Amino acid sequence: MTSAPTDEQTPPEPDAEEEPDGEEEERDGGEMTLLGHLLELRNRVTWMAGAIIVGMCIFFPPPVNFAVWEFLLEPARARIDNFGAQAIEPLENLGVYFRIALAGGLAVAMPMLVYQAMRFVAPALTKQEKRWIYPIALGASFAFIAGMAFCYFVVLPAAYGFLFQFGSDLASPNPRISSYMDLTLRLLVILGFVFEMPILIMGLARIRVVHWRKLLGWWRIAIIGAFVVSAIATPTIDPVTQSLVAGPMIVLYMLGIGLAWIVRPTAEE
C-alpha cells in the first residue's frame, strides 16, 4: 500500500540575502550612473573654486597683498645683506600680485577643499566611516598650514642661504621678483600638501583602502619616490633644496604609517 501524501509543508528557507546584524555596515549612498558621478564632481569642483575665489578676495586689497609680499621677502633678506629683487617687465609686479592672492586663497580655502573631496567619496562610505570626514578635513587643514610654516621658517632660509651665497663672490644675487616668488610660493604650497600626507594615509587606512603593513613594506619605494617627486616639483637642480623637500616627505610617510596602525579597524585586532 502506498501512503497518501501529507499536507505538511516544509518551513520556508531563510532569505539568503539577509545578513546577521553587525557583520557588515550598509553603505547608504545608493548607486549612481556615470552621468550622476560627473554631475556630483562638477558640483564639488564648483564649491572648491568658489572657496578659492573667496579666499583670494582676502588678499586682493593692496595693503594685505603687499604685506604678504614683504613677509615672503624676509627669508632672503635674512641671508643676504641689502637684498633686492628686480622687475624687468611691465607686468611682472602685477603677475606676482595675482600669484600671491592665488596662493593665499588656496591656503584659506583648504578646509573647504578637503571637505568637498571627502563629500565626493562619502556615498561609498559606511556611517561609521563618514564620522571621519570632519576630523580629516580639520586635520588636513592644520597640516597644510603647518607645512607652509615649516617651509617658511626652515626650508626657505636654508635653501636661499645656499643658493644666494654659492658663487656670490663672482656675481651678486639680484633675482627677478617673479622668479623669486615662483620658487617661494611653489615650495610653500608643496610643503603644505606634503604635510597632509599623514592625515591622508590615516584616513585611507581607516576606510580600509590601504593597510599599514603594506605601506611599511613599500618604504624603499617611498624613499626613492620622495626624491623623484621633489626633483620634479622643485624647479632647482641643487641637492640641498630637493633634500629639504624629500626629507620631510619620508618622515611624514613613516608618521602616516604609525597613524594608520593606530586607527586600524577593530576587525583586524
Which distant-in-sequence residues (6+ apart) come within 8 Å of 230 by Cβ? Answer: 242, 243, 245, 246, 249
Task: Dig out the grid coordinates for 231 from the structure.
Answer: 626633483
- The label of the residue with cell 556611517 reads 127
pLDDT of amino acid 266: 65
In a domain, 150, yes or no: yes
Whole-number Cα distances in Å, 73 to 192, 219, 235: 19, 37, 18
pLDDT of amino acid 105: 92
Cα–Cα distance between 249 and 171 in angstroms, integer? 33
pLDDT of amino acid 56: 93
Q: Which residues span the domain enclosing 229?
A: 34-261
Of 97, 109, 81, 63, give the one whose Cα is nearest residue 185.
97
In a domain, 23, yes or no: no
- Three-class secondary structure of residue 265 per DSSP: coil
In a domain, 17, yes or no: no
In a domain, 20, yes or no: no
Q: How many domains does the chain have?
A: 1
pLDDT of amino acid 241: 77
**Are 198 and 252 a contacting pair, CB within 8 Å?**
yes
In a domain, 29, yes or no: no
pLDDT in tens, the chain (269 residues): 445 555 445 555 444 444 444 434 455 555 667 787 788 888 889 999 999 999 999 999 999 999 999 999 998 888 777 777 888 888 888 999 999 999 999 999 988 898 888 888 777 777 777 777 788 888 888 899 999 999 999 888 888 888 777 766 677 777 888 889 998 998 899 889 989 888 888 877 877 778 888 888 888 888 998 888 888 877 667 777 788 888 888 898 999 899 888 877 665 44
Cα–Cα distance between 268 and 130 in angstroms, integer? 19
Cα–Cα distance between 134 and 124 in angstroms, integer? 16
Which distant-in-sequence residues (6+ apart) come within 8 Å of 33 by Cβ? Answer: none
In a domain, 129, yes or no: yes
In a domain, 151, yes or no: yes
**Are 202 and 260 a contacting pair, CB within 8 Å?**
yes
pLDDT of amino acid 168: 64
Indicate the pTM of the whole model: 0.77
In a domain, 77, yes or no: yes
pLDDT of amino acid 55: 92
Of 110, 112, 136, give the one whose Cα is nearest residue 125.
136
